[in-house]
């Protein structure tokens, strides 16, 4: 198994096709975006090359490959308005393993470590992320990587006929665990 990470600089139609697949995958939607009601869960969107170019204006996006097949993406933004703790110089991270064959193989763990290295190389020391309360597998991954809960936003996303919290977690890259 050969995993690699490549910074996205020039989106292609095949990359846009993959993002469309992941953005509209009914099994991923509850985990990757907040939903305010059942109809939001059913909403589908179209990711275009222009959309990806616009995202690159404020996101550092990395593509995740497994044996040369694009299986996911991860990204970070610096000091977005939705940070729980408004500490300047904070990177907000996100990761999606979009293809089923990439899940459960430790790729997410390796991907986040890689992303942390990129963030640290840019001089940022703090990372924050959000994970929905029902996504216990992701919570365990982040905890293994040294992330600690800093707060919760109640009734943040709707799934399985109920409201769930968004758990906000942080990691200081200067700390040794």
Domain positions in the chain: 3-130
| Residue entry with tokens 């095949």 | 14
Residue 177 has pLDDT above 60, yes or no: no
Give the SS3 label for residue 128. Answer: strand
How does pLDDT run across 44-77, given as a tens digit for each residue? Answer: 888 999 999 999 999 999 999 999 999 999 999 9
Fold (CATH) for 3-130: Aminopeptidase (3.40.630)
The reply to whether the predicted model has a pTM over 0.85 is yes
């Amino acid at each position: 198994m050969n995993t690699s990470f490549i910074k996205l600089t020039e989106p292609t139609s095949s990359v846009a096709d993959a993002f469309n697949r992941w953005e509209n995958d009914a099994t991923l939607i509850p985990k990757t975006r907040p939903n305010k009601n059942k109809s939001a869960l059913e909403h589908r969107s179209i990711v275009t090359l222009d959309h990806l170019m616009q995202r690159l204006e404020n996101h550092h996006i990395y593509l995740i490959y497994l044996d040369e097949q694009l299986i996911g993406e991860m990204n970070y933004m610096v000091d977005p308005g939705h940070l729980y703790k408004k500490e300047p110089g904070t990177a907000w991270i996100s990761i999606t393993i979009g293809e089923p064959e990439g899940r459960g193989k430790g790729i997410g763990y390796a991907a986040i470590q890689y992303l942390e290295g990129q963030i640290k190389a840019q001089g940022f020391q703090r990372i924050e992320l959000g994970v929905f309360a029902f996504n216990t597998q992701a919570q365990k991954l982040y905890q293994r990587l040294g992330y600690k809960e800093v707060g919760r936003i109640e009734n943040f996303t709707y799934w399985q006929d109920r409201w769930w919290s968004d758990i906000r977690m942080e990691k200081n890259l200067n700390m040794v665990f």
